[in-house]
Structure 1
Amino acid sequence: MKLIGSDIVQVRGVIDTSIQRTLLDLSPLLDLDDLVAIGDQIVCEHDREYAPPTPAMLTLAALDAYIGSQHQRRGLKVLREAMDLVRVGADPPRETRLRLIIARSTLPNFEHDIEIRNAVRVTKIARMLSRGGWADPGNLAGRSLGGLLGWRGDFE
């Protein structure tokens, strides 16, 4: 497919294809999960109290519009499927892969950028994990994650 003007950018003096065009060109070569991970990276942005804002390379709307404007391209069908799974706020590719595993299971949806403000509880969880707490069935039965968080319910 021929490049159009918006597909070509100049970065630090080097002429290259745009981010969205590069994703389109990779779509026939990558599987669904890889395309979702790359899409997540492109639209990832954060505005947290404790860190400077991190802008997205492209907005989700801009990337969707570009992909939506393409026709009869190899890999376009799987890229459109991937765009339905792309989420703003996913940082590393492993987070995306975990989110996709959770989405394909019966677990509740994965949420991004949830701040945990109680440092004491976070420390207790970190200590339990560092001691291999998840690997010990007795530990899970006796002191579940919910119990450490102070939650009350069937899991205690």
Structure 2
Amino acid sequence: MKVPRPLPEPFASLPFTLQEAADAGISQRRLRHQGLGRPSRGLRVPTPTDESALGQQIRPYTQVTEFAAASHASAFLLWQFPGFLPGSDLPLLHISRPDAVAIMRRPGVKGHRGQFFADEITTLHGLLITTRVRTWLDCARLMSIDEITVVADHLLRIPRPELEDRSEPFATMDVLEDMLDRHKGTPGIRKARLALEQARVGADSAPETRLRLALAYAGLPEPELNAPTVLGPGVVRQPDLSYPEQKVAVEYDGEVHSDPARIIRDITREEDYARAGWLMVRISKLHMEDEAKGGVRKVRRALRSRGWAAGWKEK
């Protein structure tokens, strides 16, 4: 059996369109070889495909069809939004087109249509994709209000330039509100509006947002989020959530806190709070189970020990 000549990169490892192959001088005979998968008309995929990243898989579909962009669950994953979107674990590529053209109908593709403004489509590593804010709205109808809030907090978060390659948030409250005003009546918009009412700037992670919401539902006062707190000369900490009046700091310790070096830093952190007369409440993944009831109890008791009182009963 004659072995075909290897395809040049990137055709040897990434999905591509027949037009791209023709432009690169690859013969029709080579493209008919059985070693290339044919997921849909006008597309070829080198085997194996299991290792192809989502963006690499979806890009040819947006190239072979006009006015097409990755959207919904695919965009949710590509933007690395926190939380879980129902259906995002299914092997479907989500692609949107304007409502003035036909919906995409190809094997393995979930087609969508909608009204798109020019600034709601962007590129990610060369892939046409709905913007983060438009993706947030598109996915809202499948998510709970709290999970929509988690993503909103993620978009609003002020980045740390020393740790990230950006200095501006992905979105502002005005930008999110404008997106909702543009698309009145779209599925999920009511939930998105309710989520935006409880979104806040300052949460650094999804667990922090979920804990903040659980505390609010339990009737506890609203905490400050990652606010710089002076604990002594030259000692400034940024607790995940804090209650300056009661001097209670709440820190969520994720898996990264199991690192030996991090453990040492956490001990130093706790000592800093203690010397300044602050009470530190450490919350773990275990406290976040069952709608964070364990975390709520722990914070409530800490606040009560510092003089806070409200009309509640201990559960």
TM-score by length of 2: 0.38
Structure 1: where are the runs of 5+ without partners? 130-139
Pairing 1:58–2:175 present = no
From 99, 111, 122, the equivalent of 2:273 is 122
Q: In the aligned structure 2, how far is the partner of 1:91 from the partner of 1:154?
A: 26
Pairing 1:12–2:138 present = no
**SS in structure 2 opposite 1:16?**
strand
Q: How far is 1:51 from its partner?
A: 7.4
From 24, 27, 36, the equivalent of 2:140 is 27
Deviates more, 1:78-87 or 1:104-113: 104-113
**SS in structure 1 opposite 2:179?**
helix
Q: How far is 1:71 from its partner?
A: 1.3
Larger Rg: 2
Query: Deviations 1:106-140 (Å, cap 9, x if unpaired)?
Result: 211121122333264426766x96xxxxxxxxxx9
Report the equivalent of 1:94.
207
Report the equivalent of 1:105.
218
Report the equivalent of 1:136.
none
Pairing 1:39–2:39 present = no
Q: How far is 1:46 from its partner?
A: 5.0
**Larger proportion of helix:** 1
Determine what percentage of the aligned residue pairs are the same residue: 23
Task: State whether residues 45 and 54 of structure 1, in contact with CA within 8 Å, keep that contact through their aligned partners in structure 2.
Answer: yes
TM-score by length of 1: 0.72
RMSD: 3.3
Bigger RCO of structures 1 and 2 (CA < 8 A, at least 6 apart)? 1
- Supply the AA of the counterpart residue of 1:45: I
**Shift in CA distance, 145/98, structure 1 to aligned 2, threshold 3 Å:** closer
**SS in structure 2 opposite 1:30?**
coil
- Supply the AA of the counterpart residue of 1:30: M
Q: How far is 1:145 from its partner?
A: 5.8
Moved over 3 A (4+): 50-54, 123-126
Task: State whether residues 103 and 110 of structure 1, in contact with CA within 8 Å, keep that contact through their aligned partners in structure 2.
Answer: no
Q: In the aligned structure 2, how far is the partner of 1:46 from the partner of 1:11?
A: 19
**Shift in CA distance, 37/107, structure 1 to aligned 2, threshold 3 Å:** same
**Shift in CA distance, 8/103, structure 1 to aligned 2, threshold 3 Å:** same
Report the equivalent of 1:132.
none
**SS in structure 1 opposite 2:136?**
helix
From 81, 85, 93, the equivalent of 2:194 is 81
Number of aligned positions between the proteins: 137
**Shift in CA distance, 2/106, structure 1 to aligned 2, threshold 3 Å:** closer
